[in-house]
Each structure stands twice: as C-alpha cells, then as structure tokens.
Amino acid sequence: MKKIATLVVATLLISGSAFAQAAERPIHEVYSMMVFNFTRYVQWPDQSTSGEFVIGVVGSQTIFATLNEWYGGKPKGSKTYVIKKFNSAAEVTDCHVLFIDKSKSGEFETINNKLKGKGTLLITDKNGLGEKGSSINFKTVDNKLKFELNQKAIETANLKVSGSLSSMAILI
C-alpha cells in the first residue's frame, strides 16, 4: 500500500511540474498533456478489456494534432488511444473524453445534451462552463492554469474520479 501511495505522490509531483512549466510551453501542449493525464485518474463504466479508447477534440486543430502525435495509437492497458477531430457539435460521436475548445464553446449545450449519461469526460476551457455541466473546465487563477471539477457532472456521466485528481481541482 505504501508503494501505491508513493507512486501517487510521485505522479502528482510530476504532473504538478506540468503546471509550473505552463509558461514555458505553448498552451496547446499544456492542454494536450493535461487532457491525457486526466485519463489516468478517471474510471469509465465501459470496462471491456480491448478496443479503442477515444479522445475527441472539437475545434482546436493544434490540440488535436498534438494529442494525435503524442498519444494516438499508444496503448491504454489493452485498449488503444484513438484521437478524433470534430468540427462541430453535429459531428460529435461517442468518446471516452471530449475536449471542447474555447472557440466552440457556443456549442457546449448541444454537445453536453448529446453526450449526457454516456460515460464521457467532457473537458472545456471557458469560464462558466464548469457550472453549466462540464466535467472539467480549465481556468486561469492568478496567472496560473487550474481546473475545476464538477462532481455532479462526473456522477451524471457515470465516471469515478480518484481522490488525487479531486485534491488538485477547484471543486464545484
């Protein structure tokens, strides 16, 4: 048990360094790293042992390209990461994770209603979307990138979040 606790603390410190390096990296790289790292702290209701683990991106070509280059085709247990790009809410299909770029935040309600209860971790980056039902919403506080975690949205999506992730978040 101590080994697991040590591993969790080490992972938090490493991921915490990503926050510190945010000023040194382009924001699309920081978002890509964080979106990917969130997958390590969330448990999905679909526990099948094989297939695809889909991360979707609505809007941002640079975040899509970075996620695809860094993580596309890599294993997640016995599943494989597949990164999909959607240009609008109409194109969105089932995903394990969906990132909605700020430029497409006007389509949030449509996307949220479309994916409600389907086991999707919905991630956004516009103030106010955490309260409106996004699972995780990026937020800048005192010139530092933080994230909000909407516990009700997580429950509605039938997801389970580790205490480690919750402890790093602004809970709403």
Interior CA angle at 68 toward 153 and 37, to 5°? 45
Residue 10 above 70 pLDDT? no
Residue 17 above 50 pLDDT? no
The stretch 38-49 carries a mean pLDDT of 86
- How does pLDDT run across 87-97, given as a tens digit for each residue? 999 999 999 99
Total tally of structural domains belonging to the chain: 1
pTM of the model: 0.84
The stretch 149-159 carries a mean pLDDT of 96
Mean pLDDT of the chain: 87
Model pLDDT, residue 23: 54
C-alpha 64/C-alpha 119 separation (Å) is: 21
Q: Could you tell me what percent of the chain has a pLDDT over 90? A: 77
Write the CB contacts of 148 (distance below 8 Å, at least 6 apart in sequence).
130, 134, 136, 137, 139, 169, 170, 171, 172
Residue 16 above 80 pLDDT? no
Range of the domain at 143: 2-171
Closest of 144, 100, 103 to residue 121, by C-alpha: 100
The stretch 108-117 carries a mean pLDDT of 94
Q: What is the CATH number of the domain that holds 20?
A: 3.40.50
